[in-house]
Amino acid sequence: MATLKAVRGTRDLLPPETALWNRVEATARAVFARYGFGEIRTPIFETTELFARGVGEETDIVSKEMYTWEDRGRADSDKGQSLTLRPENTAGVVRAYIEHGLADSGLLQKLFYIGPQFRRERPQRGRYRQFWQIGAEVLGPAWSGSDSALRDAEVLEMLATFLDELGVKGWRLALNSVGSSTDRPRYVEALKAALAPVKAGMCENCQRRAETNPLRVLDCKEAEDQATIDALPKIADYLDDASREHFALVKAALDACGVAYVVEPRLVRGLDYYTRTTFEFTVPDGSGLGTQNALLGGGRYDGLSEMLGGPKAPGIGFAIGEDRLILTLQAQAGEAAEKKLDVFIAPMGVARNAEALRLAQELRRAGLSVEVGDGFFRLKKSFEAADKLARRMIILGEDEVASGILTVKDFAAGEQTKVPRSELAAVLRG
């Protein structure tokens, strides 16, 4: 019989790696809490329509990467509705914001989420079909200040803090403004017009993009095309006064907080809902990500709530690729020091097993991490096992039980000491 395997693009996460995942998530929760964010958990699947309207029919995500199926109807005559595994979480959060009337509080909503997302792409290092995102959204009615540049800067400053606290080295923040929902179409038209006479001289990709998605021409890395691209209209020249002012305020606030950034007029993002500020954090080559070097991305989405049938609720948010963050931390840390248990108890002979378990119970209740060996192990085997698992080993044999004085071996120090049982927990904690 063929052995069963995790499906392509999905994977199991095992110890000790999961300890790193927990550290990343705990750091996110701790940092986000300091900025007033609360956790939201939305369903893993939603109606297909939510993503079609929210993310955009024409995006790659919606047009070819979603896991979509038709749910069973309630009766033969019913047609089941089309459902989709969420490919991102912002649309779900905004849907929940509308559905639960969170606008009515009049307050700014600051929500974060941690969870798996699903996209049917070709798997690659740093890109999986089930991948994890840690994200956050700040949104609310305009009178809550949700459209203020202060919020953009606060979110970016929080991200910088988060990455620093985790110890991510060499991150780079790329920043741009793609303008309001009226600026962007004007710019795209100008871009098309400017591309028409020159695109024939560009690479194949660009010729295609000039038709399908002119903004992405700006992303081209082909050396020969760079001069042509530099001569194209700049988005900055198409921003209305309000958008220009907004962008200037974001930059000024970042400067005041000492958050380094690079303005990249060519930074365009693939989701339809972005307006004004867009950003991306990347890590340098050699950080374990190959070409998928974007650790996280995000931006402002002032019109998303209305696109989903809700009230006007400007917002800004981001999504961190947790898988990529983990890969980066692993690559940058090299071989992480293995976390060892406080102590390993080695009973001498199976007759000592029950006593060993009782001692383990006592020490565990005292807050120590403990593994218990088995009396059928020879002492040599106990030493070998203990050295791999724990920092210390307690020998529990006839002498020790009789005298109440235990033998404790410290592997790092290479020292062996006698400790009265009553003092054991205190000594091991020290």
> Please, what is the minimum distance in Å from the beta carbon of residue 237 to RNA?
22
Taking the least distance from each CB to RNA, the nearer of 144 and 177 is: 177
> Please, what is the minimum distance in Å from the beta carbon of residue 143 to RNA?
28
Taking the least distance from each CB to RNA, the nearer of 152 and 280 is: 280
Report H helices in 167-225.
Answer: 183-195, 204-212
Q: What are phi and psi of 295, to 5 degrees?
A: -80, -40
Distance in angstroms between the alpha carbons of the first and the last residue of the chain = 53
Taking phi first (over 0 means left), then psi (-120 to 50 degrees means alpha), and beta for anything else, what does residue 181 get?
Answer: alpha
The partner residues of 394 in beta bridges, in order of sequence, read 345, 408
> Please, what is the minimum distance in Å from the beta carbon of residue 375 to RNA?
10
Give the relative orientation of helices 241-257 and 149-166 as an angle to the nearest 10 degrees.
40
CA distance 309 to 306: 5
> Please, what is the minimum distance in Å from the beta carbon of residue 194 to RNA?
18
Taking the least distance from each CB to RNA, the nearer of 110 and 209 is: 209
Is the bond leading into 16 cis (omega within 30 degrees of zero)?
Answer: yes
Residue 230 is inside which H or E element, if any?
helix 226-230
Taking the least distance from each CB to RNA, the nearer of 103 and 343 is: 343
**Of 262, 210, 203, 267, nearest to 234 (Cα)?**
267
> Please, what is the minimum distance in Å from the beta carbon of residue 90 to RNA?
8
Residue 169's Cβ-side half-sphere holds a number of Cα atoms within 13 Å equal to 10
**Of 285, 273, 255, 296, nearest to 173 (Cα)?**
296
Residue 306 is inside which H or E element, if any?
helix 304-307
363, 392 Cβ separation under 8 angstroms: no
> Please, what is the minimum distance in Å from the beta carbon of residue 295 to RNA?
5
Taking phi first (over 0 means left), then psi (-120 to 50 degrees means alpha), and beta for anything else, what does residue 36 get?
Answer: left
> Please, what is the minimum distance in Å from the beta carbon of residue 424 to RNA?
15
Q: Which residues bind RNA (CB under 7 A)?
A: 2-3, 5, 7-9, 59-61, 65, 88, 119-128, 131, 133, 205, 209, 213, 216, 219-221, 269-271, 280, 290-292, 294-298, 319-321, 323-324, 348, 378-381, 383-384, 387, 395, 397-400, 407, 409, 411, 414, 416
Taking the least distance from each CB to RNA, the nearer of 87 and 141 is: 87
> Please, what is the minimum distance in Å from the beta carbon of residue 28 to RNA?
14
277, 156 Cβ separation under 8 angstroms: no
Taking the least distance from each CB to RNA, the nearer of 197 and 414 is: 414
Q: Taking the CA atoms of 213, 215, 219 and 223 in sequence, report the sign of the dihedral they define.
A: positive
> Please, what is the minimum distance in Å from the beta carbon of residue 169 to RNA?
17
DSSP structural state of residue 390: B
The tokens for 137 are 């959204």
Taking the least distance from each CB to RNA, the nearer of 199 and 209 is: 209
The tokens for 395 are 């020998």
Residue 386 is inside which H or E element, if any?
helix 379-389
Taking the least distance from each CB to RNA, the nearer of 77 and 212 is: 212
> Please, what is the minimum distance in Å from the beta carbon of residue 292 to RNA?
5
Taking the least distance from each CB to RNA, the nearer of 154 and 400 is: 400
Taking the least distance from each CB to RNA, the nearer of 103 and 363 is: 363
Count each helix (H run) and each strand (E run) in the chain, helices first. Answer: 15, 16
